[in-house]
Amino acid sequence: MKFIVSSQSLLRSLQSISGVLNSSNTLPILDDFLVELNGNILSITASDLETTMTVTVEATMADDEGAVAIPARILLELLKTYGDTPLTFTIDKDLGIEIAADEAKFRIAGHNADEFPKAQQLEGAEKISLPSELLLMAINKTIFATGNDDLRPAMSGVYCDLSADSIIFVATDAHKLVKYKRNDASAISNTSFIMAKKPLNQLKAILSPDQTEISVEYNDTNARFTFRNVDLVCRLIEGRYPNYEAVIPTDNPNTLLVDRLSLITTLRRASFFASKSTNQIRLSISGQELYVDAEDIDFAHESRQRLNCNYDGEDMEIGFNSRFLLEMLNNLESENIKLELSAPNRAGILRPVERENEAEEILMLVMPVMLNS
């Protein structure tokens, strides 16, 4: 088996799938890339058993089809030292891999390709197509709100609710919640599943904000995403997702309109003075004034800032975790945001005031914190 390939083209492809690799594996073969040559097409695969990702690269010369597993770390590090250089790979019958570049030759011990795990086959799968822009936006708007609690694995992923009318993506960690809805996409039948964070982060890293069609196949246990020269298969998270609609308050008579960037700057300053254990800030809203207060009793630090706003409702004081609020505001793009409130002990709802895409609906919920007296 022999082939010649551009070092830069190979490096870009390997880096796009290298995030699947774990730093420590129970199976040594998972420290490798599986390289398969069919005609002049190289298929390169990385897997951690839960997520399997394959990318294809065109070789400039190919001879004798075959497959070999190549240690990932040393191959990546070697490729990073080269510019755009043709590399000649020669694999002998003992799985020795010789890499020739310019006047240099390197040798790596390969492994049997048969030991590499096969990607899951999706039997009885349903299929939809989504624009790359839509899927990338949905991931960006939700993944930051996922949880990390091993006791509640369903909340560590993004819930995808597909129907004939729309597609909804939801993430929550019990402190904050994001619901992202698109009315310009739909599925043939009503289905829902929970995507793990790792494959979503892989997609986030390589999806482009354009109209490239992404083929999405899914059944009860796995999902497959196929586009351009990429194929990603991942295991879905088992379990029942919490009834997120039940925690979203529907009666919120108090509404605050405020400039998003001004509020971000104000909250960032306030966070310097807030307790590092609670990140608590106090919003005092009265008339057309919003006061943002923070205090760290242990160090006798405190701050008070005033912002102009549009407020319709009863005067209110409510506490929030400044880190959660900042995460949400940084993941909105509207010039102004609307904060809907009902009571100091009930969740606040953040929505963008301006929308570039009329088919898009974003709701962000943040739980309040108990104010210090």
Give per-residue pLDDT as tens, 199-236: 999 999 999 999 999 999 999 999 999 999 999 999 99
Architecture of domain 126-176+183-242: Roll (3.10)
Lowest mean pLDDT across 49-53, 120-124, 155-159: 120-124
> Which class for 139: exposed (0-12), middle (13-18), buried (19 or more C-beta within 10 A)?
buried
3-state DSSP helix/strand/coil % of the chain, to nearest 5: 25, 45, 35
Instruction: Give Cβ neighbours of residue 373 (< 8 Å, ≥ 6 apart).
Output: none
Task: Give the integer Cα–Cα distance in Å for 87 and 98.
Answer: 10
> Which class for 64: exposed (0-12), middle (13-18), buried (19 or more C-beta within 10 A)?
exposed
CATH number, domain 248-366, options 3.40.30.10, 3.40.50.300, 3.10.150.10, 3.30.70.890: 3.10.150.10
- Amino acid at site 19: G
> Which class for 130: exposed (0-12), middle (13-18), buried (19 or more C-beta within 10 A)?
buried
Task: Give the integer Cα–Cα distance in Å for 340 and 252.
Answer: 6
| pLDDT on residue 373 | 57
Same fold, 2-115 and 248-366: yes
Task: Give the integer Cα–Cα distance in Å for 279 and 73.
Answer: 40
Task: Give the integer Cα–Cα distance in Å for 120 and 54.
Answer: 13
Task: Give the integer Cα–Cα distance in Å for 60 and 133.
Answer: 32
Residue of 24, 25, 72 whose CA lies nearest to 44: 72
* Region 159-182 average pLDDT: 96
| pLDDT on residue 3 | 96
Residue of 341, 328, 346, 51 whose CA lies nearest to 180: 328
34 and 45 Cβ atoms separated by less than 8 Å: yes
Summarised one tens digit per residue, pLDDT across range 40-98 is 999 999 999 999 999 999 999 999 899 999 999 999 999 999 988 999 999 999 999 99
Task: Give the integer Cα–Cα distance in Å for 296 and 279.
Answer: 9
Under the phi-then-psi rule, with left for phi > 0, alpha for psi from -120 to 50, and beta for the rest, what region is 130? beta
| pLDDT on residue 102 | 85
Q: How far apart are the first and last CA of the chain?
A: 74
pLDDT band with cut points at 50, 70 and 90 for residue 123: confident
- Amino acid at site 360: E
Q: What is the overall mean pLDDT for the chain?
A: 94
Q: How far is CA 122 from CA 64, 126, 211, 223, 224, in A?
A: 30, 9, 25, 8, 8
On whether the 2-115 domain is CATH 3.10.150.10, my answer is: yes
Task: Give the integer Cα–Cα distance in Å for 221 and 318.
Answer: 42
Residue spans of the domains in the chain: they are 2-115, 126-176+183-242, 248-366
pLDDT band with cut points at 50, 70 and 90 for residue 26: confident
| pLDDT on residue 103 | 87
* Region 291-309 average pLDDT: 93
107 and 98 Cβ atoms separated by less than 8 Å: yes
Tell which wins on pLDDT, 119 or 198: 198
Cα dihedral across residues 359, 216, 140, 368: positive or negative? positive
Tell me the percentage of the chain whose pLDDT exceeds 70: 99
Is the per-residue pLDDT at 286 higher than 70? yes
Task: Give the integer Cα–Cα distance in Å for 40 and 353.
Answer: 52
Q: How far is CA 314 from CA 143, 177, 255, 341, in A?
A: 34, 25, 9, 10
- Amino acid at site 144: F
pLDDT band with cut points at 50, 70 and 90 for residue 287: confident
Quickly list H helices, 207-299: 260-273
Task: Give the integer Cα–Cα distance in Å for 94 and 109.
Answer: 9
Task: Give the integer Cα–Cα distance in Å for 303 and 318.
Answer: 16
